Amino acid sequence: MIRFLVAGMTLWLCGSMVNAQSVPLASRAFTITHYDVELRPQIETRTVEGSVSLTVRVPDAGVAQVTLNRGALEIDEVRGDGRPLTFRVDRAQLQIDVPPSNGERTIAITYHGRPTSGLVFAPEREQLYTVFTTAQWMPSLDAPDARATLRLRLHVPRSWTSRVSPALTERGQSRHAESKPPRLITGAAPCVR
């Protein structure tokens, strides 16, 4: 049986991966301020299904595209403010066409796949944990200068305990929140039995 766990945390999105072509902050036309992720890891098959809702700040109404890193994830659907958006996959990147408008917008992405790194599946030890390369288990902006908050809803077996660096709360329920994104998180969401 799977129990829905909620882990709230902030995350410094860092690291790099093969084919991840980050855009420097000074030349980036948008800023992601928040990620709201729901992740369903399948321990036995070492795959994930998930959705992420991004809060994107676009200061210029002329911006027509948001580019994210996706690792090897398959993108099922992209919606902006409730409407389908056109998108393209180019190697390890997800390019999303956005309608003109300045200010904040919401982009929702559903996806699935087999992470090649970033999420370690250890079924023999009944463990799952993260190591850097966030874009391998959720579409994101893989750039050391791109800070954003993260809310993670993680579906794991009921008998597991979810831990979020640096705090552990009662069995079956983990909550962690920071007011500012930290410099670095390693092993951000390990789950153990």
DSSP-assigned states of every residue in 106-133: EEEEEEEE--SSSEEEEGGGTEEEE-S-
Give the distance between the most distant pair of CA atoms in the chain. 51
Cross-strand pairs, 155? 4
CA-to-CA dists, residue 77 to 53, 74, 94, 108, 161, angstroms? 12, 9, 11, 8, 31
Q: Are 187 and 32 in contact (CB under 8 A)?
A: no
Instruction: Measure CA 92 to chain center.
Output: 14
Domain edges within the chain: 2-192
2-192 has which fold? Answer: Immunoglobulin-like (2.60.40)
For the full predicted model, state whether its pTM sits above 0.75.
no
Look up tokens 């180019």; give the residue: 90
Buried/exposed 84-103: b ≥16 CB within 10 Å, e otherwise: ebebeeeebbbebebeeeee
Sole residue written with tokens 């919401």: 106
Residues 6+ apart with CB under 8 A from 157: 1, 2, 3, 43, 126, 193
Q: What is the pLDDT of residue 192?
A: 45
CB 133 within 8 Å of CB 153: no
What is the rounded CA–CA span in Å between residue 193 and residue 179? 29
pLDDT tens track of the chain, all 193 residues?
333 333 322 222 333 333 344 544 445 688 899 999 999 999 889 999 999 999 998 877 777 889 999 999 999 999 998 899 999 999 999 999 988 777 888 999 999 999 988 888 888 888 888 887 789 999 999 888 888 998 989 888 887 777 766 544 444 444 444 444 433 233 344 444 4
User: For residues 177 and 179, what is the distance between their CA atoms, to the nearest angstrom?
Assistant: 7
pLDDT for res 99: 83
